[in-house]
Structure 1
């Protein structure tokens, strides 16, 4: 009797699995690689695999999160599109001619306006970055807009919150947007005093509502700050003591972050207002000219700020990366904590390496996500066999997300070289067309090389059987990581 009962249950589970697999194939709208990975999960975890798919594998509703522009940016954007189509868009001397198509692609497909005459400073040390940010917040007179994926309830997080409370008491309008999953450890009382003083802190994709809506896999990974519409920050640093190198397990935290002045700050402001309004539909930000003051920058750096996420057309930052790689003639330097590229990115980078372009990839020497690191190692080894040089950063944890090519173009932002950043996360990157800045980024990479070891065929082949097995198994799941 027990055997008959078990046989019946097994048959029912098999039928359910077949139905669910058909559902994924017909309605899932996944690429073949991702679809096969999910089918494998369904095969090994019958029924449970489908609930995991509902929670972690569904696509976002683009209509619900449509990406609109604000009046202050929309006029400039449409003018630039028309000028580019008629070959009238002014491109500065610092912008190489072969990158014109990259500018046009990002302008047309991501509504990324070309901003010129900006001042841009780069920070690679958390202490220096937060000292500069705190100084700018201290000087704020009108508003402070902050957005971070992770905010910790620790010394740095408390220091930032207390400074925001002080500014709110002074009458400065303070808005803080954080991701519900990345900042899930924040207690309910952490921002209570800020709220009492008139500031606001809101969660993007709160965990409870994300679970109820089966959208736990979507995360707002952007990190930016706008102070009085005149100074902006964006890049890889989150808010927590580990970003100051105070986590013993990870050690020194090596990241890349930008400080900006100029029209580029207006573009960051637009991004924040859109994200805040999407996360708080009942309490959005009304358009106000005071958020977009006349820029006072005398800089000379042209750039585009590019957003991507499951709400957009798809892969805007990724397409920018691939276009840069395809235009490379001399070198490509990439830093990323995770290297799990999409097939298109991997193919383009392999072709560059096989074409004698000097491809160098730098990754950390330790994982902060144990499932991801073995897959990263597998992919960098593939690039090594194609002729790329692979560097393992040894001086702490490398969290930088940057690329520099041919002393011509650089990209710094929140997007990792992985499938999650390409397809699931809401990301933000700056594409910078400036020779002097690119040379600075190249020098930073060379400096980091002095704190790195180069991966060789010999050291890679010397891995233990356990390490090799993990890489082989986890790589099968790479589309889901």
Structure 2
């Protein structure tokens, strides 16, 4: 009985129950009006037609449109109701204006605090990619930066602990998932201690990402310990389309001089202290020098948006002693992607890299749930002689997403793309490396949610030691992976084909 009460009183269970009750009430109302069938059905047809016309004329991804039009047409009444509740990517004008003001302040801060850097080797492809990020990715281009790439979460964790201990002015951390355990408890102890020493410690976590891992009101507990904490998009049990948009970013900044990003969240599976899906292959990259300040600005923009504040940027500008800044190690450009605008930055970073590859383009991704645009770009690159390779997990964390991932194998392999599965377990790192010149490491998965619905971040690199490290890591992962043949990709039982076909239709909603 005690165990049952504990389950029932769990925050996530209560939220699900409340949402189901609200859906039940909506459907009960619909059934009630069926007594006036002719009038109700006519009204329904008008509403459904209007909704479908709106979907078709929206700027949403075509696959996302199809995924919603089908249930609206196949499930009379209920499809429209579900779309109106969950299907729209909607922000209030107030939220849009607030984000626009925050981004404008960030842009001005970039201009006033960052020395303008340009790529000086005349490579037009690199200049085009960098210019795009400068305009749409909320990011400046940086030199005087070096990096350390960590091919495993446990290696990144060790380095993070060492750097957090060195914090003198501030610590900024922003993560999608936080779970109490060895990793988080160790970091939390340092944060609390540093806060008592007078370090400005700030923390942002996504409420939905932590729905099953942190208790309700955990932010208050952190504030009571001296940590400035806020929760992104607090998850309340009211039917709303805002469920779709989460903060999937992973950022750590120390004194504006050191910054981390990559795939790892703050939970023990990311450092293989516990096993969930075999060996968890993840990554992180540390940048030291000017580019770390870029991540400070990205964090502060999110902090100001969530808290409706206006940070004094000048307080956080790092000061370097003569000779302290690293020597030039190529070019680094932090960037973010936001669903507040119609600019799919994460997608376009990948498309720019694929379309400008001349020798090879290598990806690692936990999910391969892509639209026609990315599919054609990958296939056309391979058909043109570019060596295209993609590594996905062998042991999935979500069976239904992995089913859609596998459904894309045959088309890609037929075009000449090489597909590998990481045999020891689950690969969660999100990397792309091209021609030994470019690479990106960050949080952007090759799936619809990352590419179109979530807040994401990463760092684009050109001619840096980080590019070489990402390439080396990819080749090491391949040694532990099995290449999928076309025969294997096509050798699927009929029931599985049916399931995958159905799931692929609704892939944008997964």
Q: Same fold (TM over 0.5)?
A: yes
Cα distance between partner residues in 2 of 1:334 and 1:324: 11
How far did residue 399 of structure 1 move? 0.4
Per the alignment, residue 278 of structure 2 pairs with: 251
Q: Which ranges of 4 or more aligned residues in structure 1 deviate by more than 6 Å?
A: 4-7
User: What CA distance in whole angstroms lies between the structure 1 residues aligned with 2:34 and 2:77?
Assistant: 16
C-alpha contact 2:147 2:465 (8 A) present in aligned 1: no
Alignment match, 2:288:
261
Counterpart of 2:329?
Answer: 300
Comparing 34-43 with 182-191, greater Cα deviation is found at 182-191
Q: 1:132 aligns with which of 151, 156, 159?
A: 159
Could you say what secondary structure the match of 2:190 adopts? helix
Partner secondary structure for residue 201 of structure 1:
strand
Partners of 2:218 and 2:471 in 1: how far apart?
40
1:56 to 86, 90, 110: 86
Cα separation, 2, equivalents of 1:263 and 1:144: 16
Q: 1:129 to 1:12 in 2, by over 3 A?
A: farther
Secondary structure of 1:258's aligned partner: strand
* Residue 288 (structure 1) aligns with: 314
Residue of structure 2 in register with 1:168 after alignment: 195
* Corresponding residue of 1:479: 508
The alpha-carbon deviation at position 214 of structure 1 amounts to 3.4
Moved more, 52-61 or 354-363: 52-61
The CA deviation at 1:129 is 0.7
- Is the aligned partner of 1:178 residue 2:208? no
Partner residue of 2:104? 68
Distance of aligned partners of 1:90 and 1:288 in 2 relative to their CA distance in 1, 3 Å threshold: closer
Which runs of structure 2 are paired with 1:23-422 in the superposition (5 Å)?
Answer: 23-28=50-55, 29=58, 30-61=60-91, 62-66=96-100, 67-70=103-106, 71-75=108-112, 80=116, 90-93=118-121, 96-184=123-211, 185-188=213-216, 190-208=218-236, 211=238, 214-281=241-308, 283=309, 285-294=311-320, 296-422=325-451
Q: 1:155 to 1:6 in 2, by over 3 A?
A: same
Q: How has the CA–CA distance of structure 1 residues 33 and 65 changed in structure 2, closer, same or farther, with 3 Å as cutoff?
A: same
Structure 1 segments unaligned to the other structure (5+ residues): 81-88
Following superposition, the deviation at residue 227 of structure 1 comes to 0.8
Structure 1 residues 201 and 90, CA gap change in structure 2 (3 angstroms): closer
Secondary structure at 2:143 match in 1: strand
TM score, norm. by length of structure 1: 0.90
Cα 1:51–1:162, aligned 2, differ >3 Å: closer, same or farther?
A: farther
Higher percent of residues as helix: 2
The verdict on how the C-alpha distance between 1:457 and 1:159 changes in structure 2, with shifts beyond 3 A counting, is same
Cα distance in 1 for residues equivalent to 2:52 and 2:32: 30
Q: Is the contact made by 1:262 and 1:299 (CA closer than 8 Å) also made in structure 2?
A: no
1:85 maps to none
1:187 Cα deviation (Å)? 1.1
Q: Deviations over 1:151-183 (max 9, x none)?
A: 012332222222211111212111110001001
- Counterpart CA distance in 1 for 2:175 and 2:376 is 32
Note the C-alpha offset of 1:367: 1.9
Do the aligned partners of residues 11 and 178 (structure 1) sit closer, same or farther apart at CA in structure 2, a change above 3 Å counting?
farther
The whole-number CA distance in structure 1 between the counterparts of 2:314 and 2:143 is: 23
Q: Which residue of 1 aligns with 2:45?
A: 18
Give the conservation status (yes or no) of the 8 Å contact 2:149–2:284.
yes
CA gap of 1:60–1:477, structure 2 versus 1, over 3 A, is same
Q: 1:457 to 1:292 in 2, by over 3 A?
A: same
Identify unmatched segments of 5+ residues in structure 2.
Answer: 1-30
TM-score (normalizing by structure 2) = 0.85
- Asked if the contact 1:42–1:50 (Cα under 8 Å) also holds between the matched residues in 2, the reply is yes
